[in-house]
Amino acid sequence: MKNKAFFIIITAVLFLLFACNGKKTQNEIVAKSVQTENENQEQKDEIKPDESEKLKFRIINLYFINPYTNELKTEKRQVFDLKEKTSMIKQVLRSLKLGPVSNLKPSVPENIEFKDVFIYGDRVYIDLHKNSENAFIGGVKGEKLFLEAVVKTVLDISPKYKKVYFLIDGEEIDSVMGHLDCSGYFTSESF
């Protein structure tokens, strides 16, 4: 009788262990599913062409610094031709931030971060992160080259854009890095 009771208890304990293990596996599957959903959402948030824009590309001009003359020079880059214009500008600014593929020097310092882009008519607003104010850019000349590169790159995207404004964390600013007046807008003739 004791052996039979002992056998039943052992069987019940083993059953519970396997049943709990099964629930853990289900929880792991649910967690993996949620993680996969989150990863899929992050991928959706990335700038990608929509179905109607599949494999449409265009060549754009990015402005980088010529190391010999310390002036801007264009580098052609192929990007997705996105219909949604703020996404297009964000993609181009991301390409500008990545830097040149040739022997030119980057025009956007590593610690400058583009936060967002807004378009209102012929005006493009480029919102920078707050920490961009403290970026080392190389004085007045470096700040001028940075602003000029961004403005010319953005205005080259479409002829309907005429003015570029700079913001920091959504707020109007007097200067990006303390050297040049940024309280108004810039055009391609500003430099």
Domain limits, the chain:
1-46, 51-172
pTM above 0.85, yes or no: no
Beta carbons within 10 angstroms of residue 156's beta carbon: 16
For the range 39-47, what are the long-range contacts, defined as Cβ-Cβ under 8 Å and sequence gap of 24 or more?
Answer: 47/80, 47/82, 47/87, 47/90, 47/91, 47/94
pLDDT in tens, 61-102: 999 999 999 999 999 999 999 999 999 999 999 999 999 999
Q: Domain 51-172: which topology?
A: GMP Synthetase; Chain A, domain 3 (3.30.300)
Band of residue 21 on the pLDDT scale cut at 50, 70, 90: very low
pLDDT in tens, 147-184: 999 999 999 999 999 999 999 899 888 777 666 778 88
Mean pLDDT of all residues in 14-28: 45
How many alpha carbons lie under 13 Å from residue 136 in its C-beta half-sphere? Answer: 0
158: Cβ–Cβ under 8 A, 6 or more apart, which residues? 85
Band of residue 8 on the pLDDT scale cut at 50, 70, 90: low
